[in-house]
Amino acid sequence: MTAFEEKLKQELYQFLRSTDEVDEHLPQCPDVEGKWEQIGASYLADGVREFNNYPVASLGWMMYIGMALAKYWDEDWEVYSKVEDLYAYMRDKRDYDHLDEYIREEVLMLKGEEYTALETLANDCASRTYNLLRHENIEPGTKEAFLAYVACLHQLYLMGAAVQLKRMGYHMTAIG
């Protein structure tokens, strides 16, 4: 993990701890973590295309995707793990622009206050991520910028999964 990605992980972790959205110990969910490369690779074309005009959405959508994967893992991983491209599967239910709404409504089954609270949380995490990325002073269009963007997506994906796992009652505590 790069120094930037580690810094981002700590920033998001501290924020999510302060809002009691994650436990002290982040969860280990190898099934969800193992889908990252495939999800990330599939998402990149859409995410990069949207980044210049909608950076917070481009980043924040990945947090929703992480939450959706955690929900799929809990619900019926035997079925969902066999879906060839889970990102395209979710995106194509509506479209890229409405991916967040699809996940909140159809995957996480949220309504009312919970729906709005999650929108705020994902926006806050994506905004913090974008702010940290901008302050790295990385030249746009470079390999370093691309790798930093991927690091942002990776951490938002993992934090989304961690938030959802806690919301579903998976609490991480130290053993021993």
What is this structure's pTM? 0.95
pLDDT, tens only, 130-161: 999 999 999 989 999 999 999 999 999 999 99
- State the average pLDDT over residues 37-47: 97
On the question of pLDDT at 126 being above 60, the answer is yes
pLDDT confidence band for 28 (50 / 70 / 90)? confident
pLDDT, tens only, 88-110: 999 999 999 999 999 999 999 99
**94-101: long-range contacts at Cβ-Cβ below 8 A with a sequence spacing of 24 or more?**
96/46, 96/50, 96/61, 99/61, 99/64, 99/65, 100/57, 100/60, 100/61, 100/64
